[in-house]
Amino acid sequence: MNKVFLIGNLTRDPEVKFVASGKAVADLRLAVTRRFRASDGEYRQDACFVDVMVWDRQAENCGKYLRKGAPVFVEGFLKFDEWKKDGETRSRLSVIADRVQFLDRPPKRGDEFSDTPDAANRTAPERKEPARSGHEAEQAPAADAQGPDSGGSDYLPF
């Protein structure tokens, strides 16, 4: 089975082109990191750079919404290309994306809950609970009063 799942950050803005048939194709360069413990006990990080090709509507969306540094999830398959240049055989392993999922979106200007420094000083709007009269509050059964012997309608035996 030839299936790849990658999570990483774009190393550059997507390059979108259109082929003769009118289909869009986007070239992405993805940096995928791996954290591991070395033989000396220290944690290290290793980066792998992967070329990803995206087609059609997804390619257009990548060009429209993604920028350098954006985190993405890519699901696709491996493709091996081999060619000769100046008498030398060259090869490249890349990923053809079946799906690209954007892992976060940039905050919009004026977004009430964006990640701007002053957003920390804002509070979420209060949720309004329906008002209860004192009489209703007195008649509501206590949560621990319901059980197998109480016959309460909310009791579930599992």
Total domains in the chain come to: 1
Encode pLDDT of 11-30 as tens digits: 999 999 999 999 999 999 99
Q: Which of 54-58, 91-95, 124-128 comes out lowest in average pLDDT? A: 124-128
Q: Tell me the per-residue pLDDT of 64-73, one tens digit each, with 9 for 90 and over.
A: 999 999 999 9
Contacts of 105 (CB under 8 A, 6+ apart): 65
Residues 91/85, Cβ–Cβ less than 8 Å: no
CATH number, domain containing residue 75: 2.40.50.140
- Domain assignment present for residue 143? The answer is no
**Average pLDDT over all residues of the chain:** 79
Domain-embedded: residue 145? no
Residue 38 lies in a domain: yes
29, part of any domain: yes
In a domain, 140, yes or no: no
For 1-5, 37-41, 154-158, which range has the lowest pLDDT when averaged over its residues?
154-158
Alpha carbons 122 and 112: distance in angstroms, whole number: 8
Domain that holds residue 54: 4-102
**What's the whole-model pTM score?**
0.62
Rounded to the nearest 5°, which phi and psi values hold at 39?
-60, -25
Whether 60 maps to a domain, the answer reads: yes
Where does residue 75 rank: exposed (0-12), middle (13-18), buried (19+ CB within 10 A)? middle
Residue 46: inside a domain:
yes
What is the tens place of the pLDDT at every residue in 90-125? 999 999 999 999 998 556 665 544 444 444 444 444
Q: What CA–CA distance (Å, rounded) separates 18 from 24?
A: 4
Task: Yes or no: say if 54 and 66 are a contact pair by the CB < 8 Å rule.
Answer: no
Give the pairing type, strands 4-10 and 71-85: antiparallel
pLDDT at 89: 95
In a domain, 119, yes or no: no
**What secondary structure does DSSP assign to the chain, as a single string?**
---EEEEEEESS--EEEE-TTS-EEEEEEEEEEEEEE-TTS-EEEEEEEEEEEEEHHHHHHHHHH--TT-EEEEEEEEEEEEEEETTEEEEEEEEEEEEEEE---PPPTT-TT-SSGGGGG--PPPPPPPP--HHHHHHSPPGGG-STTTT-TT----
